[in-house]
Structure 1
Amino acid sequence: MTAISAIPQSWRRLLFLLPIVIISLIVTAGLLHGPIPRPRLPKVIFGDDARAGGPLHSECKANNETSRLDGLPDVIRAIFAPVLLPITAPSFTTLDGTVKNLPPADQLIHKVSLGKRICILDVDTRDLTDEGSIFSDHLPLYDNLRPASAGFLSHYTYAMIHGYSYKFIKAPKYSDRAPHWSKVIFTQELLKRFDIVVMMDYDAMFPSPEVPLEWMLNYWKIDKKVMVAMAEDPDTEVNYDLRRRVNINSGFIIAQASENTQRMFKDWAECPSESRYEGCAVWKDKVFHEQAAFSSHLRYDFLDGMSIDTHPEYIRMLPCNEANGIPEVKHLGCTGQLVRHYWGHKDLTTREFSHNIMAALVPQIVKATYGDPAVVENYRDKVLDGDRILDKP
């Protein structure tokens, strides 16, 4: 006979009900006194002075406790804060060792961040719900991350590093043309809400995400007159337009809001109707779709009969070596020094995303760990003798 069986039946029922009653009281107390507070992220800081500003909150207690971070964007900005390139930095050395110099200080277009007035834009017509994709029922793991997911995540990360806006558009498909055309109309639409929209194909990425867009605008001298800037394609026969001039590549578009820009994008989206551009309908489905339409038609006749030859200040063609390609295709003259585009090597986007993060994180881990005297104990001024540690004579 067990101890429990010796207890009267009425008491045994109460014994079994007691845990349920206690849990109910705890839940009720929580409802009456408000929700249980969410745990805050650990307080962290990078650098020597918590008052230096940057992505960390300015509130610091008298005992020099570090500022709190309120969410993932703050964490991302904190990680990259120590390596962030100032908008007006006179020069920047790319990963291949090339030094890029800004114009003189009195010629710079941007000296402060545009912040949320810049939007980094992704547009895609696919469901992206398979394993390893951003809209999968299960969050993707790094080991099964799809190349497209790596590209999208890198764009979001870049926007958070610099405090820009970020939008992902789940675009519908046109009924009469290739899905690539959707990027044109949605870039136009977002230009109604932001000063600058940077539309990127998923395989276009920033190899050095610490470089602000404003720095690149200064470097490329993209002032307010420029409506749109895109990179040139490699100078090969397959990339020539109808006038045998190298195509632009619409996988990376910098567009600046203005009435003229709205007019241009409207004409671009309607190019296949041939109401203005005879022969443009062929690019509904023929490679290279919307970028071929821009290359062979739009840039030679925009606004009121302007051309890139008569008015080059409105359309900026960026050098292929700086804003297109990757190191693996350097024989084509396009290594992606400031913006990379992984056409033909889309599977390498996960490698690029990894480098983006780890290039900023590793130095900080090393500094936080091996620069801490509480972790690293230095006995190099001692001598060892058997089982003794002695001072040097």
Structure 2
Amino acid sequence: MNFTAPDRKHLRQRCPWPVTVAAVTVVLLVLFYAYDTTTFADNSRVIQGYSHIELSSSESRLSDTHHLIPLLYKPFVHPVDASKFVNHDGQTYELTEPPRFTEPLGKKVLILDVDTRPLNGEGGMLNETMQYDSITHQTAGMLNHYLYAMVHGYEYKFIQSPAYTDRHQTWVKVPMIREALKSYDYVVFLDSDAVFPHTHLPVEWLFNYWNIREETLLAMALDPDQPFNKDSRGNTNLNTGFIIAQASPRTTEMLNVWEDCVTDTKFEKCSKWRYEWSHEQAAFSDFMRYEYERGTEVIELACTEANGYPQKADSGCSGEFVRHFWLGKELVADALRDTVSRYMALRLHETFRDYIDVSMVNASNKTLPLHAGERVIV
């Protein structure tokens, strides 16, 4: 099923963040009943259009966001085994081989966030209340990941990690991914400034498109092809803001060696990357990727597909499937809004069409001024 999104600029102009989020809560309830046609028929809930709704014993489901979100997005979810994907700009991406993944993986996939910071300040993910106009980019990114997991039935975890005392805190993703792989077949890690722009596109399709194989250990995107993004051998660095990890003893071994890299036990001068930018990312690019089979065990994803964002398209990295806002963190909240309002607008229109006989009055055959006693709305 191809998906064409409404113009995002138009939506942002007409749907400020507080209005968008407030509307979602109400409309989700309406769309839940509008979509659950079997329940409608069985319980005769609709009386005289939708002017009266009789709630059943399952009324408590209204508060179950984990149930409502998949229903909202279900009509748009792209088939796992589809041969191609057409984005909202009409660009087509096609598989080059028969799909390896033909069924949803569900809870075998973990969407993972990791952070050492408290994130409990104003607009923070762990704050008990949320002020819509002060949402931080970390919260916006994590909510996008949380939403994406709910849409497709994946597991989601936010690990508030212990902090390192001997290196930069970005290194914590390495042991936390390793720990997560003890419980899940696939771990998809994202930095909090990275988002899934196509909420309806499952990771299984991306696994097929990127040729994630049985022997694949990790996959991550290349950085922009610039001199400052080169490793010691002159090859473009890999970016650890988005990582696909597949569980296996060899993956565990890799992550152990990667974490231990800064001790210089295996790789001389890796200790340079304890605190020097780009930390674990540079260590992987300089040393780790050359220890494993590139193209099969370590897959290098195109920057334009899994890194960057549209405002940096001139760098060769527009973030088609994963957007990483390295220099535009203020744009992450907009990206979250898009992943909510885009689909909401289409479902609202779908609901209007389903009830068009109730919602619309065609008075085009009338003549103005109306005659006394003449009724337009009946």
* TM-score (normalizing by structure 2): 0.83
Q: After superposition, what is the alpha-carbon deviation per residue over 1:108-151, rounded to whole angstroms, capped at 9, x for unaligned?
A: 11111000010000000101111110112x41122111111000
Alignment of 1:1-393 (within 5 A): 44-47=32-35, 50=37, 62-63=42-43, 69=61, 71-103=64-96, 107-136=98-127, 138-301=128-291, 306-308=292-294, 312-369=295-352, 371-372=354-355, 373-387=357-371
Alpha-carbon spacing, 1:340–1:160, altered in 2? closer, same or farther (3 Å)? same
Write the deviation string for residues 318-369 of structure 1: whole angstroms up to 9, x where unpaired.
0000000001111110000111000000110000000000111011112223
Task: Tell me the CA shift for residue 89 of structure 1.
Answer: 2.1
Unaligned runs of 5+ in 2: 1-28, 47-55
Amino acid at match of 2:67: D
How far apart are the structure 1 equivalents of 2:256 and 2:184? 17
Structure holding more helix per residue? 2
- One-letter code of the match for 1:223? R
Amino acid at match of 1:62: D
Note the aligned Cα RMSD (angstroms): 2.1
The separation in 2 between residues aligned to 1:62 and 1:326, in whole angstroms, is 47
Aligned to 2:359, what secondary structure does the other structure show?
coil
Equivalent residue letter for 2:81: T
**CA positional deviation for 1:377:** 1.3
State the 1:387 CA deviation.
3.1
Distance in 1 between the 2:218 and 2:34 partners? 37
Q: Which amino acid aligns with 1:359?
A: R
Task: Report the structure number with the largest CA radius of gyration.
Answer: 1
User: What letter corresponds to residue 338 of structure 2 in structure 1?
Assistant: H
Q: 1:370 to 1:221 in 2, by over 3 A?
A: same
Distance 1:390 1:369, change over 3 A: closer
Compared CA separation, residues 228 and 265, structure 1 to 2 (3 A): same
**8 A contact 2:31–2:347 mirrored in 1:** no
Letter in 2 for 1:365: L
Which residue identity lines up with residue 142 of structure 1 in the other structure? Y
Q: How far apart in 1 are the matches of 2:223 and 2:211?
A: 20
Judge conservation of contact 1:230–1:252 (CA < 8 Å) in 2. Answer: yes
Q: 1:376 and 1:237, CA in 2 relative to 1: closer, same or farther beyond 3 A?
A: same
SS at match of 2:67: helix
Structure 1 residues without counterparts, runs of 5 or longer: 1-40, 52-58
Higher RCO (C-alpha under 8 Å, 6+ residues apart) = 2
Q: Please state whether the residue corresponding to 2:271 is helix, strand or coil.
A: helix
Q: Distance in 2 between matches of 1:187 and 1:390?
A: 66
Counterpart CA distance in 2 for 1:258 and 1:91 is 29
Residue 45 of structure 1 deviates from its aligned partner by 3.8
Letter in 2 for 1:177: R
Distance in 2 between the 1:346 and 1:390 partners? 55
Question: Scaled by the length of structure 1, what TM-score is found?
Answer: 0.80
CA distance in 2, matches of 1:296, 1:205: 26
* Per-residue CA distance 1:198-218 (angstroms, 9 max, x = gap): 010001101111000001001
> Paired residues, what number?
333
Q: Is the 8 A contact 2:237 2:282 kept in 1?
A: yes
Kindly provide the CA deviation profile for residues 75-105 of structure 1, in whole angstroms up to 9, marking residues without a partner as x: 111111121111122221224432111245x
| Post-superposition offset of 1:307 | 4.5
Alignment partner, residue 26 of structure 2? none
Percentage of pairs with the same residue: 36
How far residue 180 of structure 1 moved from its aligned partner, in angstroms, is 0.2
Structure 2: how far apart are the matches of 1:285 and 1:297?
Answer: 16
Contact 1:227 1:314 in 2 (8 A): yes
